[in-house]
């Protein structure tokens, strides 16, 4: 059986936040550390079940590899696709320069 850590360290949480591209403040790190640890602690009960012979559920549907006719259809006009962008110019999304 897999043993799982039930408490996350502050560094763990900072690492997860970095992986998730979330800028998290110092005070929030502490709060998330407590809350995420509590949730993972609760979820640890799953480890009491023997699931070695059980396949994972990837989908509840009996459907596999659904295909459709390859028919040409209209696509979103460029101006509509750019309409919600924070910044756009010359049919492109504009992002700030990075070093």
Query: Of 72 and 86, which CB lies nearer to other proteins in the complex structure?
Result: 86
Binders of other proteins among residues 53 to 92 (CB under 8 A) are 54-61, 63, 66, 68, 76, 80-81, 83-87
Residue 93 bridge partners (DSSP)? 88
Q: Is 5 helix (H, G, I), strand (E, B) or coil?
A: coil
Q: Which CA distances in Å does 46 have to 25, 37, 41, 42, 62?
A: 31, 15, 10, 9, 26
Q: Which is nearer to other proteins, 19 or 89 (CB)?
A: 19
CB neighbours of residue 58 within 10 Å: 7
93: contact with other proteins by CB under 8 A: yes
The site for other proteins (CB under 8 A) is made up of 2, 4, 8, 12-13, 16-25, 28, 32, 35-36, 38-40, 42-47, 49, 51, 54-61, 63, 66, 68, 76, 80-81, 83-87, 93, 95-99
């Amino acid at each position: 059986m897999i043993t799982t850590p039930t408490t996350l360290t502050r560094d763990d949480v900072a690492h997860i936040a970095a992986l998730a591209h979330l800028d998290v403040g110092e005070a929030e790190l502490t709060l998330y550390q407590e809350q995420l640890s509590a949730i993972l602690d609760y979820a640890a009960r799953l480890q009491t079940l023997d699931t070695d012979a059980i396949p994972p559920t990837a989908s509840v549907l009996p459907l596999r590899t659904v295909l459709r006719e390859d028919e040409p259809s209209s696509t979103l006009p460029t101006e509509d696709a750019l309409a919600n962008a924070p910044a756009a110019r010359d049919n492109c999304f504009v992002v700030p320069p990075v070093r």
